[in-house]
Amino acid sequence: MKPGKKEYLLIGWSILLILVNVLWLVLDKNPPAWDQAAHLRGVVNTNLFLRGRFEGGFLGLLRSLWGYPPLIYFVGAFWSFISGIGVNQITFLNTIFLILAMWGVYKLAGNKVLPAILFSLFPVIYDISRNMLLDLALTVWVIWGLYFWLRKNDEKWLLMLILASLTKLNGFLYFLPMVLISTIERFKEKGFWKKAIIGVFIYGIAVGWWWLLNWSAIYQYLTGLAGQGEGLTDPMNLLSLTTWIHYLRLFFLQQIGPIVGVVFGISLLKVDFENEKNKKLLWWLLMTYVVFTIIKNKDFRFTMPILSVVAIYFGQGLLKIKKKWLIALVFGWMLFNYIENSFNWPVRKPMVVSTPTFLMGDVNWIDFSDYPVREVRQNKWPNVEIINDLPNWKNSVLVVMNSAEINDNNLQLYRLILGKNEIEIHGIDRWGTMNFDYVLVPDLETESAPFYDVQLAKRKEIINEIWQKNSHDYKIVAEYVLPNKQGKVYLFKGSS
């Protein structure tokens, strides 16, 4: 079928998003942070496995993926056969998922362009499209799962469930509300239970093997509840209002932004919730919110799939208000934020205008800062230089430095990319269990990143000990100046 005007408009918007992301990735020199580096390593290891150059076989590969399902690593590995192995080349895969998600919203909205474009301009969506994280791929499967669920296309819906379950451990949780709603609606439908039993069997074959291999991690994740989340970031008490509005705060403050959030709230009043599709999507949204409030770990990435429904309601409400100037104003503001937060132009960061509120805390009405969207950074970090300075033979390296830019995860990634396979890189959990040939240590003034460091005291103790032993046990063989006056990091060599 020949594309119509709406499809051509969305094709043009897709090309623009692709070009902007390519420009962003080319200009950005910042090393990938912890999780991004870990997922990139998974792709590179899978690439090596498919080429017969990974030691340990398939089970060894699965163990190297830290309990994550393997689907996106295999997709990324096949993509890397085309693009080549490199941080930017592999990360571009998420731009493809951005386009697939946006077109999914278009179809889910009933072939409406406005919701799809609004979805692509939500800050958390376009930021993650430039990072090698699994959540955008998972969002694609959920959006298309919702589309096929509403159309009662059970075979394609089941495929989306399988893809989601093989993308992230929590992938199946987004489909539980769909299962519950369908069971209530269709349990008397002729042939429903036969289809359900066959579906469970197919799902068990496709995903069950991975559940069996990773049952302990899955059990721990599903039985933890909110009271056992990360103490620095996650609300800890299910009986507290703070826990139940946590994702609402993240949605309002970070996922779409306060100004857009207020307009969305107004537009929501115009949405027809008597409409059967809108009603079902609302139930799915609310039930998903409850599920992810109850489980222990929380992050604004975990409720990203909800933003597809938010974009649909937002678009419907704006169109029913029938104020073209309001649509133009919202689009203009979101586009300005997209450019400003991505490229730090035309306003120089940081620029924040905030007010305190009762429920939401400090609300940044204007938030041109580095969170949740990181702008292009062109300062060069010494990660590649550090790896190249290490002799390529059996050497063990302890990485005590822990920042988003330099950590044991991304140094292991660069070791893989540079082909220095003899070098072993370890985090501080191995301190005291072995002797190290080299130790990478920051100066005494450099602080570790607290969000990703639950062992701050131990890290500080190791740093002090290494510096005290500088005169006999360890010698400085290289030093690296960090950009933006963030201090120095030193490579020590053991005396043995």
- Contact in structure between 252 and 307 (CB atoms under 8 Å): no
Using CA atoms, how far apart are residues 416 and 76, in angstroms rounded to an integer?
A: 15
Q: In what order do the strands lie in the sheet with 474-481?
A: 423-426, 395-399, 438-442, 488-494, 474-481
Nearest to 104 by CA among 146, 132, 70: 146
Q: What is the pLDDT at residue 303? A: 95
Q: What is the pLDDT at residue 454? A: 64
* Residue carrying structure tokens 């991004």: 36
Counting DSSP H helices and E strands in the chain, the numbers are 22, 7
Q: What is the pLDDT at residue 470? A: 62
Amino acid at 378: Q
Q: What is the pLDDT at residue 70? A: 96
Length of the chain in residues, anyone?
A: 496
Spell out where 213-272 has E strands: none
What are φ and ψ of residue 193, in 5° steps?
Answer: -70, -30
Using CA atoms, how far apart are residues 155 and 153, in angstroms rounded to an integer?
A: 6
> At CA 154, angle to CA 150 and CA 155, rounded to 5?
135
Q: What is the pLDDT at residue 446? A: 74
> At CA 377, angle to CA 374 and CA 381, rounded to 5?
120
Burial class (CB in 10 A: 0-12, 13-18, 19+), 168: buried
Q: What is the pLDDT at residue 468? A: 80
DSSP conformation letters of 56-88: THHHHHHHTTTT--SHHHHHHHHHHHHH-SSHH
Residues 6 or more apart in contact with residue 457 via CB below 8 angstroms: none
C-alpha 131: how far from chain center: 7
Q: What is the pLDDT at residue 444? A: 80
Q: What is the pLDDT at residue 231? A: 43
- For helices 258-268 and 324-343, the axis angle rounded to 10 degrees is 150
- For helices 93-108 and 71-83, the axis angle rounded to 10 degrees is 120
Both tokens of 177, joined, read 């509300």
pLDDT by position in tens, the chain (length 496):
678 899 999 999 999 999 999 999 999 999 999 999 999 999 999 999 999 999 889 999 998 998 899 999 999 999 999 999 999 999 999 999 999 999 999 999 999 999 999 999 999 999 999 999 999 999 999 999 999 999 999 999 999 999 999 999 999 999 999 999 999 999 889 889 999 999 999 999 999 999 998 888 777 777 654 444 444 456 768 888 889 999 999 999 999 999 999 999 999 999 999 999 999 999 999 999 999 999 878 888 999 999 999 999 999 999 999 899 999 999 999 999 999 999 999 998 889 999 998 888 899 999 988 888 999 999 999 999 999 999 988 899 999 999 999 999 999 999 999 999 899 999 988 888 888 999 999 988 777 766 566 677 888 888 888 888 665 678 899 999 999 888 899 999 987 6
What are φ and ψ of residue 439, in 5° steps?
Answer: -135, 130
Q: What is the pLDDT at residue 233? A: 54
Q: What is the pLDDT at residue 235? A: 75
In 10 A of CB 122, how many CB atoms? Answer: 25
Using CA atoms, how far apart are residues 422 and 279, in angstroms rounded to an integer?
A: 57
Both tokens of 255, joined, read 């996922």
Burial class (CB in 10 A: 0-12, 13-18, 19+), 233: exposed
- Contact in structure between 468 and 438 (CB atoms under 8 Å): no
Domains of the chain as residue ranges with CATH = 5-30+92-367 (no CATH), 383-494 (3.40.190)
Nearest to 273 by CA among 281, 284, 264: 281
Using CA atoms, how far apart are residues 405 and 441, in angstroms rounded to an integer?
A: 14
Q: Is the peptide bond before 372 cis (omega within 30 degrees of 0)?
A: yes
Burial class (CB in 10 A: 0-12, 13-18, 19+), 328: exposed
Count of CA atoms in the C-beta half-sphere (13 A) of 377? 15
C-alpha 233: how far from chain center: 16
Return the bridge partners of 167, or none: none
- Contact in structure between 108 and 116 (CB atoms under 8 Å): no
